[in-house]
Structure 1
Amino acid sequence: MREGAAHEQLRYALRSWAAHLPHRRVWLVGHRPRWAVDVEHLPTVQTGTKHENTTQAVRAACQHLDVSEVFVLANDDMFTMHPLPDGMPVLHRGTVRSVERALASRPPSDYMRGMRATRKLLKSLDHPDPLSYELHVPMPVDKIGMLAALDQAEHVTAVHKRTLYGNLAGLGGEEIQDVKIMYRAPRGYGPESPFLSTMPDSFEHGHVGAFIRDTFPGASPYETPGRR
């Protein structure tokens, strides 16, 4: 969590998890908004790049003794739209090779360089055609396995840590398309969507943001009642 943001996506993500994602405790790693209550907080210094900050946050969670040995890793813009009575399933995006091909027209970026570097690292570790776990959905994580994966990638800039961990741990899982909704127009999702994720603009000004707010109108146990 970053300081200075409004964190309204987090508010509704928490509402969706409270309603639909079985769990015992919620840990916020980084910054905790003043309105957030009954959550555990693990502060971290966020002075690096986005990828460095998130990797540091995941490592901090995995190293903390009070975080459960298996936990669900989620960003503040990931929403569970329907009940998951059996817990969070393992989901992937298909092979890294196919994702690279689909995104080949994108301009160079740390994300794309990190994807290629992670694929090459996995190939060197006997995973010649790895799966991509870079979805905007929660992911079950084993602390020991994630730490071992991160230790393999200390030299990789912008490592795709979910992908690295998922392949080294042999998670497998079900293939889905990514659920990130980047635009204001009502396309790419519907009432049947089990998961959604948004950009700040699409959440604040788009149809998808209104849809999520309408789905979860009531406060969760993790926010101060009656305050915004």
Structure 2
Amino acid sequence: MEFVYEGKTKDVYALEDGNYLLKFKDDVTGEDGVFDPGANTVGLQIEGAGKAGLRLTTYFFEILKDRGIPTHYIDANIDEAEMIVKPAKMFGKGLEVICRYKAVGSFLRRYGMYAKEGQELDAFVEVTLKDDDRQDPPISADALHMLGILSLDEYVELKSLTQKISGIVKEELAKKGIDLYDIKLEFGRMDEGNGIMLIDEISGGNMRAYKNGVYIEPLKLEKMLS
């Protein structure tokens, strides 16, 4: 296999058959040693985070597969912290899509004049550009369209998929008495067509989950669901 890209939380390799291998790492995003799924820098290392992230990702991707929701997932090797995925075409240089059920994190920092901490949100979807230099700025549907990143029809599909996937994750967590506050997802165009599919991962490292008002760390979340 051929090394392609070193990411914050996983490395990417190209396989001979045209698919890709993702190698999960123990790095998680955050600032000053504090985990933050919305941060655009690696804040700390948590031993076992890579395998835990992959285990949870596999758990959710298998559920999505059963529900007929398109993802890039093919197979996973938990012991090696590796996942094989289909190729996908990025939207521009990459987008992050956040679905919010509670007003916390960057939402509260931006809209704190109006929002109260922990305020209920109705599966609010926001899209940000993957741009570390500009701190991942939020972008509207019209701007995405005008800049040629995605069409307005694609935005509608992106939003619908985000709310559907996030709702499934929320339901699964609720079975264990866990509340999902927000979740960050990534999408790409299918290589064989123009459809949109979920890429990257679904793990404790890209969501905020709480039980009885207490935040659940990524490794603990995986153990609670296994």
Output the TM-score relative to the length of structure 1.
Answer: 0.29
More strand by share: 2
TM-score (norm 2): 0.29
Of structures 1 and 2, the one scoring higher in RCO (CA 8 A, sep 6+) is 1
Higher helix proportion: 1
